[in-house]
Amino acid sequence: MGRSDEDAKMKMVELPGGERVPALGLGTWYMGERAAMRAAEIDSLRLGIDLGAALVDTAEMYGDGRTETLVGAALAGYRERVFLVSKVYPHNASRTGVVLACERSLKRLSTDRIDLYLLHWRGSHPFAETIAGFEALQAAGKIRHWGVSNLDADDMAELFAAGGTACAANQILYNPGRRGPEFDLLPLLERRGIPVMAYSPIEQARLPRGGALGGVAHKHGVDPFQVALAWAMRSGKAIAIPKAARPDHVRANVAAADLVLDAEDLAVIDAEFPPPRRKSGLEML
């Protein structure tokens, strides 16, 4: 995957096998659903890529395929610079269903391959079938890596037992207000060298702008949501994928990748949003 000089400035996260991808990507949930926003959304995605956030996350579920179509339009002339992620519905995750769903996504995305293809959440199809479908797509050059989304620690253990040791990422709901995965899921993934992709890292702009986030933001002269994004990426092993459909939001999100939180900042955030002391179920939006 070719990278521009701008891309090279972005903080990077390593996938299993050594490939490095941007730590700050571009989420697309709810994009492509309003015709009046199409041009602005395409421009925002391209701006993000130009600024180094050259990882774009989408899914066949988003807008019933309309989001993938929008992403495909946005990536015209940009595809070689982008690490492209999409997701398959659980009900399409049978051995043959995965392959057919991927073909449909490729057509909507106007590309010949997806860089990382994820099982969107666990469904009724056995993991072994889904893995076999992913492996067939890899062998055909239709996807480069595969992974999962919304799988908890026990699900991951079952995935590994079913032959899923090549899993390259787990995309989960993770932000200062949703720290449950830190109890057992994140340690498990870290032992395996599997990065987390944090979706809704600012809780769709519902995280409190005051309190700890506001105080740390004031100290650094930044926005509270930039603090939340920097917090999500603090380990160097997590990828944050906020959505931004306006240029100012795109620029602010990208700038958050350069924000370094010190021990005092993290302690302030921990005091308001304490780490988990016991197991809780994985949350989803």
Residue 92 belongs to some domain of the structure: yes
Hey, what are 104's tokens?
């449909």
Residue 29 belongs to some domain of the structure: yes
Residue 54 belongs to some domain of the structure: yes
**Angle (deg, nearest 10), helices 38-50 and 247-256:** 30
Residue 22 belongs to some domain of the structure: yes
Residue 281 belongs to some domain of the structure: no
Residue 282 belongs to some domain of the structure: no
| Residue 76 belongs to domain spanning | 5-272
Specify which residues 14 forms β-bridges with.
Answer: 20
What percent of the chain stands above pLDDT 90?
A: 96
Residue 278 belongs to some domain of the structure: no
Q: What is the pLDDT of residue 9?
A: 80
Residue 280 belongs to some domain of the structure: no
Domain count, the chain: 1
CATH number at residue 81: 3.20.20.100
* Cα–Cα distance list, 44 to 4, 150, 158, 277 (Å): 18, 27, 39, 39
pTM to 2 decimals? 0.95
Mean pLDDT of all residues in 185-209: 97
Is 4 a residue whose pLDDT tops 50? no
**pLDDT confidence band for 6 (50 / 70 / 90):** very low
**pLDDT confidence band for 2 (50 / 70 / 90):** very low
